[in-house]
Amino acid sequence: MNNNQITQRKTKILATLGPSSNTIKKVIELSKAGANAFRLNCSHLNQEELKDYVRKIRRAEKILNKPIGILVDLQGPKIRIGTVKNDENYLRKGSPFLFDLKKDIGNYLVLNL
C-alpha cells in the first residue's frame, strides 16, 4: 500500500505509543505499516514526556513527508476509595452507599429511615 492509498482510505489506524515504541524509528515503522495517528495516554505521561513524544512524531512526519495525527488521551475522573474499617463493608440491595472525600475511616451505609 503506498502513502497516497493510506491517506485516502476512510478507515484510519490508531496506534498507541508507549515506552517500548517511543522512538522516531518505531513511529516511522508503524506509520509505514499503516498507522495514521498515534494515541498518547496522559495517564502515564508527564508534561516533559508528552512534549518528547510529540517532538518525535513531528520529526517522523517530516522524514516521511506525510501528515501524522496525534490523539492525546486525557486522564478522566477516577473514583478511589480510602480506608474502610476492617477492610470491608456490607452493602444491602436498594440501600444507597455514601462516597465522600473525608480522610477518616469509612464504615457506614446511608439508610433510608
pLDDT in tens, 49-63: 999 999 999 999 999
The proportion of the chain whose per-residue pLDDT surpasses 70, expressed as a percent, equals: 72
> Taking the model in full, what pTM does it have?
0.63
Which whole number is the average pLDDT over 44-53? Answer: 92
Buried b (16+ CB within 10 A) or exposed e, 49-71: eeeebeebbeebbeeeeeebeee
Contacts of 18 (CB under 8 A, 6+ apart): 41, 44
